[in-house]
Every structure is written in structure tokens, then in C-alpha cells.
Amino acid sequence: MEFLSYLISGISLGSVYAIIALGYTMVYGIAKMLNFAHGDVIMVGGYISFCATTYLGLPAVVSILLAMAVCTVLGIVIEGLAYKPLRAAPSLAVLITAIGVSYLLQNSALLIWGAAAKSYTPIISGTLQLFGGKLSIQYISILTVIVCLVIMAGLTLFTSKSKMGKAMRACSEDKGAAQLMGINVNQTISVTFAIGSALAAVAGVLLCSYSPSLMPTTGSMPGIKAFTAAVFGGIGSIPGAFLGGILLGVIEALAKAYISMQLANAIVFAVLIVVLLVKPTGLLGKKVMEKV
């Protein structure tokens, strides 16, 4: 029974990682850049939702929509101001810029909301009691898993069926050729950032509902874990990000419960190293030939 509850807490934590990882993986797949500011967009999403419910008294659903809207705009603005001018620059320059943006967001949050932690009110509370109270599952865990599945299915459909999705896949394969085929590459990348940032807002709300404490650095560690999850599953692959996130969460929870609480993170990263040694592209990653 304990094993089940550890498994469930692992899956729900993993689902949060998965939603964040989806954002990383989409941006990487299409723009071929690592958006290190992604974790901090999550934090902004959390704060917006917090302000909407606490200061403006808005219902939770509205606060999520508001957070998504703000983060979408933020994502587009970040992309337009910080990354677009560097489209032709070496990828290291973009990476450093992303780190800069991450600092900018953290410190702006520090100025606006202060350093003291704020307590987030979970969007839904309560527990589902099973087997006569022996197994209890938080509703937020169930919600997180459902939201994660819906997002993954939605994104898969979107990228395989819609026109914009096809444009994204074309850009991810070859930007130059896509442009020659009449695809507006810049716009496609902007849309990718918008979607990624909206996902970050959702992830922020779910993360803060699961672990209800909000600080300017709230997003950094989950961001890193999610990046790991994306690499684990095969960066650029949407089902891979999902699988990587869930596995990472489960490994973390079970390692904590049965092996060592202190070594949980080390075990997670050790598994990652083993996976990368055996399968360098990640679990579901595709091998892409680099053109010279």
C-alpha cells in the first residue's frame, strides 16, 4: 500500500516535470535552442495566479487563464527581444542570453513580489480515500496527471494535423528549406514560444498547488529537473518528454522511499547518465544526421 502511495506521488510529481519538459522540448525541437528561462516563466505563472486569487479575489480557473495569457505574452516578448536578434548567432550566445533572461525574471520577481515566501492556495484540495482510508490520493495529483495527458495528446495532434503544427515540424527539420517553401519561420518560432510559455503557466499553477510555496527561485530546480526529463526522454520528442518526466518523478520518489533520501537526486542523475550512455539520443529520441 505504501508502495502505491509512493508510486502515485512519483507519478504526480513526474507529471509536473513532464508538462515543463514539454515546453523545453518544443522550443528545442523547433528553435534548436535551450530556453533556460523556461523555469522562471513557470515562477511568473505561479505569481500571476497567486496575485489573481489572493489580491483580486478571482476564481482559480480565471487565475489560470490569466496566468496563461500573461506568460504567453511574456514568452513572445522574451523571444522577440532576446532571442530573435540572435537567430544567426552561435548557439552558445543564445544559451548565455537565455541564462541572462532567467536572471532578469528572477530578479524582477524579487523586486516586484519581494523575497519572502508566499503561501499558494492550491486550486483544488482534498483527498480521495481508497481501500477504507489505507490509500489516499490527493485530488491535485489526479488533476495533474489528467492535465498532463490532455496536453500531451493535444500537442501531438496539433503538431501532426494542424497547418501550424506541420510548419513547426518543417522548421524543426530544416529552417532554410522551410522558409523556401513559404513558411514564415520567425512567426512559427514565436508561436512555439507562446505555446511553451502557456504550458509553463499551467505547470506553475500545478507545481504551486502541489508544493504550495512561492519564491522568486521556485522555478529553477523544477526547471532543471524537467530539462533532465526532456533529455532523458529524448529532447525534441513530445512523447519522450512525457515519458521522461513521469519516469524521473517515479525514480525520484521510489529512490527517496527505498534507497536513500539523501541520494535521491544523485540516483536520478545516475540513471540519466546510464540511459545516455546506452542510448545517446534519449529513450524516444530520433537520431538525426548532422549535415555538414
Partner 1 sequence: MKKILCLLLAMTMTFGCLTACGSKDTSDPADNGAATGSSESIEGAFKLGAVGPLTGDAAIYGQAVVNGAQIAVDEINASDSTVKFELNKQDDEADGEKSKNAYNNLMDWGMQILVGPTTSGAATAVAAQVYSDRTFMITPSGSSPDVIDGKDNVFQVCFSDPNQGTGAADYIAENMADAKIAIIYRNDDAYSQGIRDTFVEEAEAKGLEVVTEGTFTADTATDFTVQLTDAQSKGADLLFLPIYYQPASIILNQANAMGYAPTFFGVDGMDGILTLENFDTSLAEGVMLLTPFSADATDDLTKNFVAKYQEAYGEIPNQFAADAYDAVYVVKAAIEAAGCTADMSAADICEALVAAMPTLTYNGLTGQNMTWQATGEVSKAPMAVVIKDGVYTLPN
Binding part of the chain for partner 1, among 66-74, 191-199, 238-246, 254-262 by CB under 8 A, reads 254-262
SS3 state of residue 136: strand
Give CB contacts under 8 A, 24+ apart, made by 162-171: 164/188, 164/191, 168/26, 168/29, 168/30, 168/192, 171/30
Cell of 205: 499553477
| Beta strands in the chain, from DSSP E residues, in sequence order | 118-119, 127-130, 135-138, 213-214
Q: Indicate whether 270 belongs to the interface with partner 1 (CB under 8 A).
A: no
Q: Indicate whether 229 belongs to the interface with partner 1 (CB under 8 A).
A: no
Residue from 62, 114, 146, 154 touching partner 1 (CB under 8 A): that is 114
Crossing angle of helices 185-210 and 163-173, in 10° steps, is: 100
Residue 51 or 152: which CB sits closer to partner 1?
51
Q: Indicate whether 106 belongs to the interface with partner 1 (CB under 8 A).
A: yes
Residue from 6, 76, 165, 271 touching partner 1 (CB under 8 A): that is 6
Q: Indicate whether 122 belongs to the interface with partner 1 (CB under 8 A).
A: yes
Residue from 77, 93, 111, 157 touching partner 1 (CB under 8 A): that is 111
Cell of 277: 550512455
Q: How many CB atoms lie within 10 A of CB 174?
A: 12
CA-CA-CA-CA torsion sign (97, 102, 107, 111): positive
Binding site for partner 1 (CB under 8 A): 1-2, 5-6, 9, 13, 34, 36, 50, 54, 95, 99, 102-103, 106-107, 110-111, 114-122, 125-127, 129, 133, 136, 138, 140, 207, 210-213, 215-218, 220-222, 224, 227-228, 231, 235, 253, 256-257, 261-262, 264-265, 272, 276, 280-281, 287-288, 290
